[in-house]
Amino acid sequence: MNTLPTASPPPVIRNPVLPGFHPDPSLVYVDGWYYLATSTFEWYPGVPVHRSADLVHWELLGHILDHPGLLDLRGVPDSGGVWAPSLSWHDGLFWLAYSVVRTTDGPYKDIDNFLITAPDVLGPWSEPVYLNSSGIDPSLFHDEDGRTWLLNTRWDHRPDRPSFDGILLQEYDTEKQSLIGESVNILRHKDELIEGPNLYRLDGWYVLLLAEGGTGWNHGIRAARSRNLTGPYSLDPAGALLTTRDAPEEPFQKAGHGELVRTPEGEWFLAHLASRPLHTPQGPRCVLGRETCIQRVTWTEEGWPRLAHGTVAPLAEIPAPVGVGAPREGVSPSRTPVRDDFDSAALGPEWSTLRTPAGPEWLSLSERPGWLRLRGRRSTFSLFEQSLVARPLRSVFCEAATVLDFRPSRFSQLAGLICWYDTGTHYYLRVTRSEGGLVVGVVLADEGDYRELRDSELSVDDWPLVYLRAVFDGAVLQFSASADGCDWREVGPSLDSTTLSDDYGSRLRFTGAHVGLCAQDLDGGRFPADFGWFRLLDY
Domains, the chain, in order of start with CATH, read 15-319 (2.115.10.20), 339-538 (2.60.120.200)
Q: Residues near 506 by Cβ (< 8 Å), separated by ≥ 6?
A: 447
What's the pLDDT tens digit per position in 237-265?
999 999 999 999 999 999 999 999 999 99
The torsion of the CA quartet 408, 393, 123, 199, rounded to 10 degrees, works out to: -140
Instruction: Catalogue the E-assigned strands of 103-240.
Output: 111-118, 129-132, 139-142, 148-155, 164-173, 178-187, 194-202, 205-212, 220-226, 234-235
For residue 337, the model assigns a pLDDT of 73
Angle at 419 between CA 415 and CA 422, to 5 degrees: 100
What's the pLDDT tens digit per position in 221-231?
999 999 999 99
Q: Which of 385, 399, 452, 490 is catalytic?
A: 385
Interatomic CA distance for residues 235 and 239, integer angstroms: 8
Q: Residues near 402 by Cβ (< 8 Å), separated by ≥ 6?
A: 417, 467, 468, 517, 531, 532, 533, 534, 535
385 is catalytic: yes
For residue 7, the model assigns a pLDDT of 61
258 neighbors 273 (Cβ within 8 angstroms): yes
For residue 76, the model assigns a pLDDT of 98
Interatomic CA distance for residues 15 and 258, integer angstroms: 14
Query: What's the alpha-carbon Rg for the chain, to the nearest Å?
Result: 24
**Segment 389-401 mean pLDDT:** 98
The torsion of the CA quartet 262, 267, 271, 277, rounded to 10 degrees, works out to: 180
DSSP-derived secondary structure for 477-534: EEEEEESSSSSEEEEEEEEEGGGGSTTSSSS---S--EEEEEEEETTS---EEEEEEE
**Segment 128-154 mean pLDDT:** 98
Q: Is 339 exposed, middle or buried (0-12, 13-18, 19+ CB in 10 A)?
A: exposed
**pLDDT greater than 70 at residue 3:** no
Which amino acid is residue 488, in one-letter code?
A: W
**Segment 107-130 mean pLDDT:** 97
Beta-carbon count within 10 A of 505 CB: 16
Interatomic CA distance for residues 73 and 520, integer angstroms: 20
For residue 324, the model assigns a pLDDT of 80
**Segment 388-396 mean pLDDT:** 98
**pLDDT greater than 80 at residue 327:** no
Average confidence score pLDDT of the chain: 96
Q: Which residues are registered as beta bridge partners of 466?
A: 404
389 neighbors 375 (Cβ within 8 angstroms): no
For residue 326, the model assigns a pLDDT of 58
Instruction: Output phi, psi for 138, to 5 deg.
Output: -70, 145
Q: Reduced to 3 DSSP states, what percent helix, strand and coil does the chain have, rounded to the nearest 5?
A: 0, 50, 50
For residue 336, the model assigns a pLDDT of 60
**Segment 68-94 mean pLDDT:** 97
Instruction: Output phi, psi for 507, to 5 deg.
Output: -95, 160
430 neighbors 415 (Cβ within 8 angstroms): yes
**Segment 373-392 mean pLDDT:** 98
**Segment 46-54 mean pLDDT:** 98
**pLDDT greater than 60 at residue 333:** no
What's the pLDDT tens digit per position in 419-475?
999 999 999 999 999 999 999 999 999 999 999 999 999 999 999 999 999 999 999
Start-to-end C-alpha separation, the chain: 40
**pLDDT greater than 80 at residue 212:** yes
Beta-carbon count within 10 A of 506 CB: 6
**82 sits in which H/E element:** strand 81-90
**pLDDT greater than 90 at residue 342:** yes
Share of the chain above pLDDT 90, in %: 94
In the 8-state DSSP scheme, what is residue 251?
A: S
Q: Sorting pLDDT into bands at 50, 70 and 90, what band is 507?
A: confident
Interatomic CA distance for residues 246 and 218, integer angstroms: 8
For residue 381, the model assigns a pLDDT of 98
Interatomic CA distance for residues 239 and 354, integer angstroms: 39
270 neighbors 258 (Cβ within 8 angstroms): yes
Q: Which residues are registered as beta bridge partners of 169?
A: 151, 184
- Give the predicted TM-score (pTM) of the model: 0.96
What's the pLDDT tens digit per position in 180-199?
999 999 999 989 999 999 99
For residue 10, the model assigns a pLDDT of 82
For residue 9, the model assigns a pLDDT of 77
**pLDDT greater than 70 at residue 334:** no
Share of the chain above pLDDT 70, in %: 96
Interatomic CA distance for residues 125 and 71, integer angstroms: 12
